[in-house]
Amino acid sequence: MAQGKRDQLRVGLIFHSSKSGNLGVGALTSAGLSILRDVAADLATDLKVVSFEPDEPMAPYIEGDDFEIVRQRTINLINPMDFYAQVKGMDMVIDIGAGDSFADIYGNSRYRRLMLMKGLVHAAGVPLILAPQTLGPFNRPWPRKAAKWTMNRSLLVVARDETSVSAATAMGVTRPILLASDVALRLPYEPRARNTGGRPQVGLNVSGLLLAGGYSSNNQFGLRGNYPRMVRGLIASLQAEGADVWLVPHVINPDGPMAMEDDFTASHALAAELPGVQVAPRFASPSAAKSWISGLDFFAGARMHACIAAFSSGVPMVAHAYSRKFEGLFGSLGYRHVMDCQRSDERTIIDGTMAGFHRREEIAQEGAAALARGLARLRCYQDALKEVAMAVTNGRQPDDRRLVELATSSRANPA
């Protein structure tokens, strides 16, 4: 940690991305940077953010004199001293785990990389903050033990849902666990005017990954119904009610190594076979996607951050969940319009989504109240970052009692 008064706050980011084709990961990075800029402005200090991230096919959609991208390839971690040396110059490192990657459900290779980079930050003696994310699940003994170790070594652990808080506590994590919400609620955007008096404009995010059956191509996520058939049935139901249906891709990666995840190609293929269905523009950034979504009358989808873009811009929304992260996030805010695709059949999901469409004005009011809760929790996270930043720029240890106080107050009033 730096010693003596400093006029610059130096922050490293890991498991963020400023150019990911998965606009959800980009939304986390853009919004997280916005929060850091607010912290630096409050403290009247300069900010330098260095994001250690892999190559992605898109051009960077985050820029600024205070932001730098350092290419971090997996091969660099075979001899990790460069990363170690760069991290050692930071005042703190923030790890957001790509939102939901701090878990053992995505395979050993990804988890080992997560743990190696966390371990190098600990070894460098730099405060590690686990930014708002889903914690777990950790289903096997060694990943659970490693997760407990790194969380207890971290300065601050922040969950974006109550389920994650309970899971970490049950594992024996003793560091302050602050309950926040998804930082993408704070993603900047330009509101788009809505159509008034015409046909309802409905956005539907169709997951290319779910259409493909998951990474295994064999219903990896255990959906109860047939997802492609459900999507077609929902589109037909919406059109029968006089709605214009727009397919809204939120993972745009047609040429990358994970092209099977791509929503853009899947949406265009679907629109080609279904008369009257249109596809939203190819978004250049997460903020561009949120700005466009903000002009819709109703939204439904299977990409959580596409749903968050609608929810946080005032668009009534029904989420199509394929994992516990959906109910964890929205349920923690008291927003119950989540269809569980692992438990519900196709007809139930279609009927539940159409009920939301018919009640969209009422749902918009519920969404506004839930959003206010989420933003209040993010202010608590920002206060914790500010406490850490004040300490490190003044050459002292952060006040652990204050961090515990903030963590405790964040969990005092669940939705």
What confidence score (pLDDT) does residue 11 get? 98
What confidence score (pLDDT) does residue 300 get? 98
What confidence score (pLDDT) does residue 7 get? 84
- Report the CATH superfamily, name and number, of domain 201-370: Glycogen Phosphorylase B; (3.40.50.2000)
**pLDDT tens readout for residues 292-305:** 999 999 999 999 99
Q: Where are the domains of the chain?
A: 8-186+372-410, 201-370
CATH architecture classification, 8-186+372-410: 3-Layer(aba) Sandwich (3.40)
pTM for the full predicted model: 0.94
**Shared fold status for 8-186+372-410 and 201-370:** yes
* The 3-state secondary structure of the chain, one letter per residue: CCCCCCCEEEEEEECCCCCCCEHHHHHHHHHHHHHHHHHHHHHCCEEEEEEEECCCCCCCCCCCCCEEEEECCHHHHHCCHHHHHHHHCCCEEEECCCCCCCCCCCCHHHHHHHHHHHHHHHHCCCCEEEEEECCCCCCCHHHHHHHHHHHHHCCEEEECCHHHHHHHHHHCCCCCEEECCCHHHHCCCCCCCCCCCCCCEEEEECCHHHHCCCCCCCCCCCCCCCHHHHHHHHHHHHHHCCCEEEECCCECCCCCCCHHHCHHHHHHHHHHHCCCCEECCCCCCHHHHHHHHCCCCEEEECCHHHHHHHHCCCCCEEEEECCHHHHHHHHHCCCCCEEECCCCCHHHHHHHHHHHHHCHHHHHHHHHHHHHHHHHHHHHHHHHHHHHHHHHHCCCCCCHHHHHHHHHHHCCCCC
pLDDT tens track, the chain, 415 positions: 445 567 899 999 999 999 999 999 999 999 999 999 999 999 999 999 999 998 777 789 999 999 999 987 665 566 788 889 999 999 999 999 999 999 998 888 889 999 999 999 999 999 999 999 999 999 999 999 999 999 999 999 999 999 999 999 999 999 989 999 999 999 999 999 988 778 999 999 999 999 988 777 787 888 999 999 999 999 999 999 999 999 999 999 877 656 778 999 999 999 999 999 999 999 999 999 999 999 999 999 999 999 999 999 999 999 999 988 999 999 999 999 999 999 999 999 999 999 999 999 999 999 999 999 999 999 999 999 999 999 999 889 898 899 999 999 888 766 6
What confidence score (pLDDT) does residue 140 get? 93
What confidence score (pLDDT) does residue 335 get? 97
**pLDDT tens readout for residues 5-34:** 678 999 999 999 999 999 999 999 999 999
